[in-house]
């Protein structure tokens, strides 16, 4: 039957069908274009209407101050608390037991603000840096010394013997003050590395202004208020530096150190220094002089007695008092100074150390020459505790 259908009727039907389709399509397109135009014209107006609606609701529900904010501030944003800019967290020194390598630590600690004034209230502190083998054996005396002066000092302990586990009670000012430490050999260059490590860790606290290096055999000779004001008000650094002829002076110089260090520039001095923040940053940042000492001042050279005196005299001589504030007695000769035992500690002896001669301070004669003294054996602690706090008028 299908094959019998007239072909002309079929084609006419097809034509009609196609025309119908075409008009359908045209009307669809027209409708779409019209809808698009309508949408384009109307959408911004609708948005404004809805925003104004929201804004009106928002200003109604908040104070007049919030209502004057720009039309473009989304209400949800304006409701958030102000962004924490982070100066407070930037000023908070990191945990002492951090995971920085020496290189990372020194890089971070050597950052200097270009702006001289601090945009916050800064109370300068004195950093007391203890370079020890094991624990700070005279710490009970220092505890008495620091008592009542929180906020004016910080303590750092580099204890080279990491196996000697320092059990410090939680209420002690020494608790948790040990920095990541490494082995130190007597008279070796790694002693200077330990000093730089102490300085760098202490520099991370922006409030530290003065830096004192002490050993476990050091004691204070005056009370905290005297020590603090002496250090904070000083115009000079205290890095002992002198030129000495003979085998234990210029004799330790090696011509290989030239031309960075000439023999005339070679200096000697006690390793126990006291310096300000500017010099401390220069010391940790130094690579030129340190690498010369590292390479050519080993063994019998004793880098710790020559590096800082030579470096500071060559570059920062005018700011240096050229003397140390830590008393030590070399009168007996030999490689080690006199060590004071329990019986040596008397009131007369300590008085003598406090008042032995007159020194210059900020360009004027002053009674105080030394703020600290060494070397005191751990046996002397008991007598020191009995005599020193009263004699030195500690804050009791
Ligand atoms: C050392 O002290 C720490 C806590 O300060 C403790 O966790 C650790 O077990 C101690 N190590 C030894 C060998 O006593
Ligand atoms: C600290 O010692 C000095 C003497 O060196 C004394 O004049 C001063 O009163 C003492 N300070 C305190 C707070 O006891
Ligand atoms: C310290 O010694 C250097 C020279 O070695 C000198 O220029 C400087 O003025 C001395 N400092 C003081 C305070 O006298």
Question: Quick count: other Cβ atoms within 10 Å of Cβ 243?
Answer: 15
Ligand 3 binding pocket includes 318 (Cβ within 6 Å): yes
Query: Burial, 123: exposed, middle or buried (Cβ in 10 Å; 0-12, 13-18, 19+)?
Result: exposed
Ligand 2 binding pocket includes 367 (Cβ within 6 Å): no
The two tokens of residue 25 are 């399509």
Ligand 3 binding pocket includes 313 (Cβ within 6 Å): yes
pLDDT at 250: 95
pLDDT at 40: 53
Are residues 329 and 339 in contact, defined by beta-carbon separation less than 8 angstroms?
no
Are residues 269 and 240 in contact, defined by beta-carbon separation less than 8 angstroms?
yes
pLDDT by residue (tens digit) across 134-192? 889 999 999 999 999 999 999 999 997 766 656 788 899 999 899 999 989 888 899 99
pLDDT at 86: 75
pLDDT by residue (tens digit) across 37-78? 455 555 545 444 444 444 434 434 444 444 444 445 555 556
Residue 221 pLDDT level (bands cut at 50, 70, 90): very high
Average pLDDT of span 291-317:
95
Residue 261, pLDDT > 70, answer yes
Are residues 174 and 155 in contact, defined by beta-carbon separation less than 8 angstroms?
yes
Burial of 54-65, coded b for 16+ CB within 10 Å and e otherwise, reads: ebeebeeeeeee
Contacts of 320 (CB under 8 A, 6+ apart): 236, 237, 238, 239, 241, 312, 313
Name the residue with the closest Cα to ligand 3, atom 8. Answer: 318
The two tokens of residue 300 are 């019998």
pTM: 0.79
Residue 13, pLDDT > 70, answer no
Ligand 2 binding pocket includes 223 (Cβ within 6 Å): yes
């Amino acid at each position: 039957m299908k094959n019998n259908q007239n072909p002309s009727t079929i084609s006419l039907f097809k034509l009609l069908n196609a025309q119908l389709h075409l008009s359908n399509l045209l009307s669809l397109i027209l409708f779409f274009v019209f809808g698009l135009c309508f949408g384009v014209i109307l959408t911004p107006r609708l948005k404004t209407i809805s925003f104004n609606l929201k804004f009106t609701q928002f200003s109604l529900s908040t104070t007049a101050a919030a209502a004057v904010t720009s039309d473009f501030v989304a209400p949800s944003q304006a409701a958030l608390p102000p962004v924490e800019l982070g100066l407070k967290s930037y000023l908070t020194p990191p945990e002492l037991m951090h995971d920085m390598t020496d290189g990372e630590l020194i890089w971070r600690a050597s950052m200097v603000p270009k702006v001289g004034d601090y945009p916050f209230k800064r109370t300068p502190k004195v950093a007391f840096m203890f370079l020890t083998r094991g624990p700070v054996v005279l710490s009970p005396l220092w505890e008495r010394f620091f008592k009542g002066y929180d906020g004016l000092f910080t303590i750092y302990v580099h204890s080279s013997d990491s196996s000697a586990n320092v059990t410090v009670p939680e209420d002690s000012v020494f608790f948790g003050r040990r920095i990541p430490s490494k082995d130190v050999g007597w008279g070796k260059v790694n002693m200077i590395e330990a000093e730089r490590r102490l300085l760098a860790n202490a520099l991370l606290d922006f409030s530290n202004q003065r830096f004192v290096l002490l050993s476990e055999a050091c004691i204070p000779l005056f009370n905290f208020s005297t020590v603090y004001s002496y250090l904070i008000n000083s115009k000079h650094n205290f890095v002992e530096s002198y030129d000495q002829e003979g085998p234990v002076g210029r004799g330790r110089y090696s011509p290989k150190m030239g031309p960075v260090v000439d023999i005339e520039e070679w200096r000697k001095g006690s390793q126990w220094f006291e310096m300000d923040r500017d010099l401390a940053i220069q010391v940790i940042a130094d690579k030129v002089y340190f690498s010369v000492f590292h390479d050519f001042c080993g063994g019998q050279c004793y880098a710790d007695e020559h590096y800082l005196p030579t470096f500071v005299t060559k570059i920062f001589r005018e700011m240096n008092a050229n003397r140390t504030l830590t008393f030590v007695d070399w009168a007996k000769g030999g490689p080690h100074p006199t060590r004071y035992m329990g019986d040596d500690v008397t009131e007369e002896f300590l008085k003598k150390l406090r008042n032995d001669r007159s020194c210059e301070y900020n360009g004027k004669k002053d009674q105080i020459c030394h703020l600290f003294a060494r070397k005191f054996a751990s046996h002397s602690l008991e007598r020191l505790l009995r005599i020193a706090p009263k004699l030195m008028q500690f804050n009791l």
